[in-house]
Structure 1
């Protein structure tokens, strides 16, 4: 029996495995090899690894974990999970049943691409969600923002730290008159109509085509499609979730424990503020709290 089974082997999961390995706890990490940021050429804002390819950072982390004999990395998907504290079981897609005293869920979320031709092709290249992740590289350029709710209005003021050229695409939403007046005060034009097609060259924007017949060029487009957990184990395990503007995430307490005793969660799965730095930190802390819960 493992001390902890970690389901998800990206930044949060590997950070958790590192802490547990250094505590000489027996841990198995299950990973499908499909991290959320696999579409991005570079990862930004992670101290010591700024502007490195996410895959390279994860590869180095896996190599570093090889020096810890109690850590096992398994390329497999967790198909089912159940049990109670000190007696959890996980069934993998290759038919293996694993058991552990604790579970740490770090399987992340999947972004749900809209059915707009060209959108998915540009995702992670010229259509991005986070100014902290990609804003510096495109600072001073013409940014577009797809309106997806009232949170977009907060983004407008935030984006001005990076650029003074910003256009808001209503994408069929009814933007209140007072919000339009505030946008006008900020010199942010509002383009009505729904996005119909994204014209691009190898994922790099050329024009945004609207159903009104209007076409507009921007250098980068910020958008926030909804996401959902990358697996359904939290449903099987009966874990409580919370709803954020971007999608569901798992409810955890200050010790990263979910609503079920002995099950911890970290990374994007448990925090709507997606960030490699935050995911790494929460994964490490969740593992430490899981270890401390097993002390006698």
Structure 2
């Protein structure tokens, strides 16, 4: 048991969580940041498109943000995993994997999501390097090279039409149904090649991708392949607390309002776990919103009853 109760506990120490903690720190509130050290984009070697940080390594960005937060004596970092949470507004208890319990008046869930990758030989080890999700984050560097889109949902045809902005594109159906005539016509206009034969694996030196290997023995030169993985919550805490969920583009997300408040009073959520579209900028911005909203809720707590 920690000796004191915190004004807020931020669970998750990546872009959203650290951004939320900064607002609370500057609001002179005592805040605990609980982080297990497994951010979603830990597989990527560079983060692109983030204001003033284009091309920076994600781990370095997070380390720099943590360093800035350590300047505030009212911020307490806990390198642990939050495995359970209970209670109500003003009196939450967070159980850590180490067995300790932390108490806080408010919670910010910046717990993130986990990508469920297709089971293809050579795919998982290239995730974030040459097997990718977002062309805005990882597209410019592959410009002009032969690219692929792995069909995982019917919406992947639209993704293939977009990827042609970066290079010649093949849509690998890999067992997914052939698009209808209208979609095929659009793909043709965007000069997307449709490959119906199933994939047996990805090949290349190290984490680089050089070819997609097909079941008929062909090897199609491919420098990067994009896919849309299904996602699940990286933590059970939102469900344990009773937060409402809705279906997002890729999987369930925590329902929040414009201030990032969940359906449970005193619990806020920010980052990929609480929005349909994902990137570092959105996660950080949502963290700012959540942190400021938590601070406001603490300021005005009980005033109406006074």
Same fold, TM-score > 0.5, yes or no: yes
Q: Give a deviation string over 1:268-287, Cα, whole Å, max 9, x none.
A: 11113111111111011111
8 A contact 2:20–2:292 mirrored in 1: yes
1:193 aligned partner: 197
| 1:1-296 mapped onto 2 (5 Å cutoff) | 1-163=5-167, 165-174=168-177, 175-296=179-300
Normalised by the size of structure 2, how large is the TM-score? 0.93
Unaligned runs of 5+ in 2: 301-306
User: How far apart are 1:113 and its partner, in Å?
Assistant: 2.1
8 A contact 1:122–1:200 mirrored in 2: no
- How far apart, in 2, do the equivalents of 1:184 and 1:160 lie? 11
User: How far apart are 1:130 and its partner, in Å?
Assistant: 0.3
SS at the partner of 2:87? strand
2:304 aligned partner: none
Q: Give a deviation string over 1:20-70, Cα, whole Å, max 9, x none.
A: 101101110100011111111111111111101110111111111111111
8 A contact 2:161–2:192 mirrored in 1: no
- How far apart, in 2, do the equivalents of 1:270 and 1:132 lie? 20
- How far apart, in 1, do the equivalents of 2:188 and 2:273 lie? 37
SS at the partner of 2:76? strand
User: How far apart are 1:209 and its partner, in Å?
Assistant: 1.5
User: How far apart are 1:140 and its partner, in Å?
Assistant: 1.9
- How far apart, in 1, do the equivalents of 2:38 and 2:163 lie? 30
SS at the partner of 1:69? coil
User: How far apart are 1:95 and its partner, in Å?
Assistant: 1.3
* Pairs aligned (count): 295
- How far apart, in 1, do the equivalents of 2:93 and 2:62 lie? 26
- How far apart, in 1, do the equivalents of 2:106 and 2:62 lie? 24
SS at the partner of 2:21? helix
RMSD value, Cα: 1.3
2:303 aligned partner: none
8 A contact 1:4–1:26 mirrored in 2: yes
- How far apart, in 2, do the equivalents of 1:46 and 1:69 lie? 28
